[in-house]
């Protein structure tokens, strides 16, 4: 034995005698309690049985894992006994191998994860087939995936029944967003976004116009219209100028003749461009019922996200509004008169024709008017805005999404003018957006309530009106607080868009049911659902990644 070995052995013996006590070690890891002893015994047996099974199935990889595990135990022991310190040993001792139970669990979980990865690799790659011509039942491997169904049904998965001769319009939409997003990213990184107002205004305008550009490209405009009538054109212009006047009056927007001309020209210019594109026949109309697959999923998710956010913000502000309410001496006389009118005009008729007890109870519906009046006065002190916002949020949140989607399709014709039909896809988007906006409102309301009262008082102290206070002080801080919740709601809306398949829309999951009905692809659900799961994961991951990036840039959660 060499002097170096003798020195190491001597140091090891000294460290063990000074820093290691068997009694304490056993009490901390095995004998400290009866349940701990039982747990360790069960864990040892389970680990031994599973390790032996893995040695028979995957001998090489399991042996490598065992060697690494033993080496890790040695490094942890050396680090704990102060014989030889290493970053690896310290990290293992603090995280994975801090006790006998943790060491056994680490080995068991690593072996289980490796087994799952090997099984996935064998099924998805090693034993899989990728040729679309080998999707017939006689060509399929029992222990491997048949990815040819994804390749063969690629067009259906991506576009549904979208006309194949018009696919250039879909790629134009993708190219538009890639270029616009790339230019915005480069301009932001270069600092041009913050310094050059013209560039920023142009990019914001292009982002604002993107939903209309997408609609023109994917749905098209008929040369015969429909185009709005002159009365609607004038009414829209009056509405836009009224909003501009309100913003200027509340000092949210600074008045200038240039800005006034831009606001005044938006509506007639947009209408002229829309009409010119339609009459030119550049983008012939496409039946939106032909949209499907991933294209329809992205359209529904993006539309719901874009609509639910501003609606949720309005509802949140409405629920927290503190405007002066209607006095009781006006609420009750009006409510009583309306209730009496209801009793006189409808209750007697319904009672006369009632066929059961339920219809007899329904006949007394005017009582609901008195109940609403009581709640309006008692809980909201006559604040109609807060009452309406709260009622909408609570009613929508109390109804399942599927029920709301069916109601949107069934009730949509009742709200349309005579002779005008609303496609199911638009009804579903509206119903889904209303549903999502109720949850978005509660998220934003949480951010509003999280702000200290001093922020509101400070805004009032410097003379800001309500719109200025919300625009410049309250909302920027409140929205920054609830970024994680808002993005979580966006991700939920994106994934829950698969529920529209129940109402007959063939989005990504809905089109899969059509694909597997093909005799050639019968029974290949697993491969298609795995592909859909990957698509949903990628979209959710990208939104989550951008959320973390935005939080880091804004310093959300940092101290």
pLDDT of residue 246: 83
- Please name the residues in contact with 155: beta carbons below 8 A apart, sequence gap of 6 or more: 164
Question: Is 362:350 a contact under the CB 8 Å cutoff?
Answer: yes
Residue 226 is given by DSSP the state -
Q: In a 3-state reduction of DSSP, which class is residue 543?
A: helix
In a shared domain, residues 355 and 419: no
In a shared domain, residues 194 and 231: yes
In a shared domain, residues 115 and 260: no
In a shared domain, residues 352 and 404: no
In a shared domain, residues 396 and 533: yes
In a shared domain, residues 118 and 259: no
33 within a domain of the structure (yes/no): yes
Q: In a 3-state reduction of DSSP, which class is residue 6?
A: helix
478: tokens are: 């409140």
Among 212, 243, 274, the domain-final residue is 274
24 within a domain of the structure (yes/no): yes
For residue 40, the Cα-to-chain-centroid distance in whole angstroms is 42
Domain at 397, CATH number = 1.10.3720.10
Question: Taking the CB of residue 361, how many other CB atoms lie within 10 A of it?
Answer: 12
283 within a domain of the structure (yes/no): no
Rounded to an integer, what distance in angstroms lies between the CA atom of residue 496 and that of residue 498? Answer: 5
In a shared domain, residues 460 and 504: yes
Burial group, residue 511, by CB count within 10 angstroms (0-12, 13-18, 19+):
buried
Question: Is 154:505 a contact under the CB 8 Å cutoff?
Answer: no
Q: In a 3-state reduction of DSSP, which class is residue 526?
A: helix
In a shared domain, residues 531 and 480: yes
367: tokens are: 């009582």
pLDDT of residue 19: 59
pLDDT of residue 172: 95
Among 74, 108, 126, the domain-final residue is 126
In a shared domain, residues 175 and 307: no
403 within a domain of the structure (yes/no): yes
In a shared domain, residues 420 and 528: yes
281 within a domain of the structure (yes/no): no
In a shared domain, residues 251 and 171: yes
Paired with 222 in beta bridges are: 225
Per residue, the 3-state secondary structure of 313-347, as one string, reads HHHHHHHCCCCCCCCHHHHHHHHHHHHHHHHHHHH
Question: Closest Cα to residue 65, out of 26, 120, 118?
Answer: 118
Among 346, 364, 382, the domain-final residue is 382
Number of domains in the chain: 4
Rounded to an integer, what distance in angstroms lies between the CA atom of residue 100 and that of residue 29? Answer: 6
Q: At what angle do helices 525-554 and 483-496 cross, to 10 degrees?
A: 160
Question: Is 65:72 a contact under the CB 8 Å cutoff?
Answer: no
In a shared domain, residues 390 and 509: yes
pLDDT of residue 559: 46
103 within a domain of the structure (yes/no): yes
pTM value?
Answer: 0.87
pLDDT of residue 16: 59
279 within a domain of the structure (yes/no): no
Peptide bond into 193 cis (omega under 30): no
Radius of gyration of the chain (CA): 33
| pLDDT tens for the chain, residues 1 to 559 | 565 555 556 555 655 555 556 776 777 778 878 888 898 899 999 999 999 999 999 899 999 999 999 998 888 877 766 667 778 888 888 888 888 888 899 999 999 999 999 999 999 999 999 998 888 888 888 888 999 999 999 999 999 999 999 999 999 999 999 999 999 888 888 777 667 788 888 888 899 889 999 999 999 888 776 666 667 777 777 888 888 888 888 787 888 888 878 878 887 888 888 888 888 888 899 999 999 999 999 999 999 999 999 999 999 999 998 888 889 888 899 999 999 998 888 888 888 888 888 888 888 888 999 999 999 999 998 999 999 999 999 999 999 999 999 998 888 877 777 777 788 999 999 999 999 999 999 999 999 999 998 998 898 888 888 888 998 899 999 999 999 999 999 999 999 999 998 888 999 999 999 998 888 888 889 999 999 999 999 999 999 999 998 888 887 755 4
140: tokens are: 């399929």
Contacts of residues 171-179 at CB distance under 8 Å and 24 or more positions apart, as own/partner, are 172/217, 173/213, 173/214, 173/217, 173/218, 176/210, 176/213, 176/214, 176/217, 177/210
406 within a domain of the structure (yes/no): yes
Phi, psi (degrees; rounded to nearest 5) at 167: -65, -20
Range of the domain at 371: 324-382
């Amino acid at each position: 034995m060499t002097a170096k070995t003798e020195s190491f052995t001597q140091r090891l013996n000294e460290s063990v005698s000074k820093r290691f006590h068997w009694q304490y070690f056993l009490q901390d890891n095995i004998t400290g309690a009866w349940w701990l002893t039982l747990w360790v015994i069960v864990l040892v047996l389970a680990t031994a049985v599973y390790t032996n099974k893995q040695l028979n199935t995957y001998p090489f990889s399991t042996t490598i894992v065992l060697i690494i595990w033993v080496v890790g135990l040695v490094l942890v022991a050396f680090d704990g006994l102060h014989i030889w310190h290493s970053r690896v040993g310290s990290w293992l001792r603090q995280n994975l191998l801090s006790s006998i139970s943790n060491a056994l669990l680490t080995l068991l979980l690593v072996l289980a994860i490796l087994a799952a990865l090997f099984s996935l690799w064998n099924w998805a790659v090693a034993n899989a087939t990728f040729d679309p011509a080998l999707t017939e039942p006689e060509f399929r491997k029992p222990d491997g995936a048949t990815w040819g169904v994804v390749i063969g049904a690629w067009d259906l998965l991506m576009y549904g029944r979208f006309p194949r001769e018009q696919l250039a319009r879909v790629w134009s939409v993708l190219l538009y967003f890639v270029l616009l997003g790339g230019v915005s990213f480069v301009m932001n990184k270069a600092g041009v976004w913050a310094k050059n107002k013209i560039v920023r205004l142009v990019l914001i305008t292009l982002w604002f116009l993107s939903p209309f550009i997408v609609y023109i490209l994917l749905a098209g405009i008929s040369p015969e219209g429909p185009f709005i009538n002159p009365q609607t054109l004038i009414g829209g212009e009056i509405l836009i100028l009224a909003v501009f006047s309100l913003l200027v009056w509340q000092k949210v927007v600074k008045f200038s003749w240039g800005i006034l001309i831009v606001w005044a020209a938006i509506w007639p210019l947009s209408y002229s461009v829309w009409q010119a594109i339609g009459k030119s026949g550049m983008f012939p109309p496409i039946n939106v019922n032909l949209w499907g697959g991933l294209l329809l999923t992205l359209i529904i998710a993006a539309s719901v996200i874009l609509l639910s956010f501003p609606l949720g913000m309005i509802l949140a502000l409405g629920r927290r509004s503190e405007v002066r309410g209607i006095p009781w001496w006006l609420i009750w006389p009006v409510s009583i008169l309306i209730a009496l009118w209801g009793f006189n005009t409808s209750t007697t008729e319904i009672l006369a024709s009632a066929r059961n007890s339920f219809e007899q109870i329904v006949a007394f519906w005017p009582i609901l008017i008195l109940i609403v009046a009581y709640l309006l006065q008692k809980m909201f002190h006559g604040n109609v805005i807060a009452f309406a916002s709260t009622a909408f949020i609570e009613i929508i949140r109390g109804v399942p999404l599927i029920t709301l989607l069916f109601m949107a399709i069934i009730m949509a014709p009742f709200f349309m003018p005579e002779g005008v039909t609303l496609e199911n896809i638009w009804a579903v988007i509206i119903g889904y957006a209303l549903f999502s906006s109720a949850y978005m409102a509660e998220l934003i309301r949480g951010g509003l309530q999280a702000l200290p009262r001093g922020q509101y008082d400070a805004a009032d102290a410097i003379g800001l009106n309500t719109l200025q206070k919300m625009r410049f002080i309250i909302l920027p801080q409140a929205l920054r607080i609830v970024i994680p919740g808002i993005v979580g709601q966006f991700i939920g809306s994106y994934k829950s868009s698969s529920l529209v398949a129940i109402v007959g829309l063939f989005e990504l999951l809905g089109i899969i049911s059509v694909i597997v009905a093909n005799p050639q692809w019968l029974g290949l659900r697993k491969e298609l659902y795995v592909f859909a799961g990957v698509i949903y994961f990628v979209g959710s991951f990208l939104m989550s990644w951008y959320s973390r990036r935005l939080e880091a840039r804004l310093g959300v959660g940092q101290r």
